[in-house]
């Protein structure tokens, strides 16, 4: 009070008494904890991320792994099925297509299993183990001679795919540092999401679609070849309206 009064009266050379500047303990009214949610836990044996095999089982009659073409369509476009959280809590979502090999999956497994509290938290896989063979020729090999030998196996991921999911008796602030560390080591762009974020994103998309007053959308301009857009557009723009490549 003395300092406030001195500041109002523009009095600079006034010493505040020591008994007025003594700090005292105050009462903090903490916010109550949110009520416990009805969490659907998986089996206790599945709370940790399981080890992923480096190579799948051979499918050929000769007992060898069959070679495969590149099939870039496995990574193009949006994911159509695995775009939601099974346990309605937290996870990592891919923002673009890419490939994950065994090293990426083992990094995810070790990081999450070491850092999460296994007494009240769980994590599950949402991607398949590596199944697609990638061939490669030896260094300095001449062109020709047929397709190279299998170098590794990968799991293709499309944009919007949920990669790993975490949940349990925990808050988003506890899970975010763990998932953020995993997200930064992935070979493609990804983001940490929660069920609340997904619901808000879906509501925002519906609001924009309902209240949009601009009739010239990307799909409308492309179908009517406005400004010669079909000359520079990609064939995939007709499927995904310029959102994915």
Q: What is the pLDDT of residues 193-240, one digit of tens each?
A: 999 999 999 999 999 999 999 989 899 999 999 999 999 999 999 999
3-17, 62-76, 217-231: the lowest-pLDDT one: 3-17
Q: Residue 84's closest CA among 169, 161, 179?
A: 161
* Tally of structural domains, the chain: 1
* 25 located within any domain: no
**Residue 17 falls inside a structural domain:** no
* Residue-level pLDDT at 24: 63
Q: Is residue 220 part of a domain?
A: no
The structure's pTM equals 0.83
Q: Is 218 in contact with 230 (CB distance < 8 Å)? A: no
Phi (first) and psi of residue 241, to 5 degrees:
55, 45
Residue 161, number of CB atoms within 10 A of its CB: 23
Residue 13 inside a domain? The answer is no
Distance CA 150, CA 153 (A): 8
Looking at the domain assignment, is residue 14 inside a domain? no
Q: Per residue in 106-159, pLDDT tens?
A: 999 999 999 999 889 999 999 999 999 999 998 888 889 899 999 999 999 999
Q: Regarding beta strands 121-125 and 132-136, do their DSSP bridges make them parallel or antiparallel, or are they unpaired?
A: unpaired
| pLDDT, position 116 | 93
CATH of the domain at 47: 3.90.1170.10
Q: List pLDDT tens digits, range 42-54.
A: 876 678 999 999 9
**Cα Rg, the chain, nearest whole Å:** 28
- Domain hosting 177: range is 39-57+67-136+149-196
């Amino acid at each position: 009070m003395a300092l406030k009064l001195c500041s109002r009266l523009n009095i600079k050379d006034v010493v505040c008494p020591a008994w007025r500047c003594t700090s005292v303990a105050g009462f903090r009214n903490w916010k109550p904890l949110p009520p416990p949610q009805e969490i659907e836990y998986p089996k206790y044996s599945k709370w940790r991320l399981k080890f992923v095999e480096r190579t799948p089982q051979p499918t050929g009659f000769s007992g060898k792994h069959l070679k495969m073409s590149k099939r870039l369509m496995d990574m193009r476009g949006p994911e159509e099925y695995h775009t939601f959280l099974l346990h309605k809590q937290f996870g990592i979502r891919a923002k673009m297509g890419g490939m994950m090999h065994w090293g990426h999956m083992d990094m995810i497994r070790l990081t999450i299993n070491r850092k999460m509290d296994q007494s009240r938290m769980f994590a599950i896989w949402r991607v398949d183990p590596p199944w697609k063979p990638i061939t490669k020729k030896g260094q300095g090999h001449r062109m020709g001679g047929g397709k190279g030998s299998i170098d590794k196996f990968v799991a293709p991921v499309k944009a919007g795919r949920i990669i790993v999911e975490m949940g349990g008796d925990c808050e988003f602030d506890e899970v975010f540092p763990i998932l953020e560390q995993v997200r930064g080591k992935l070979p493609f762009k990804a983001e940490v999401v929660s069920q609340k974020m997904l619901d808000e994103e879906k509501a925002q998309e519906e609001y924009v679609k309902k209240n949009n007053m601009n009739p010239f959308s990307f799909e409308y301009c492309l179908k009517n070849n406005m400004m010669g857009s079909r000359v520079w557009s990609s064939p995939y723009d007709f499927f995904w309206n310029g959102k994915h490549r």
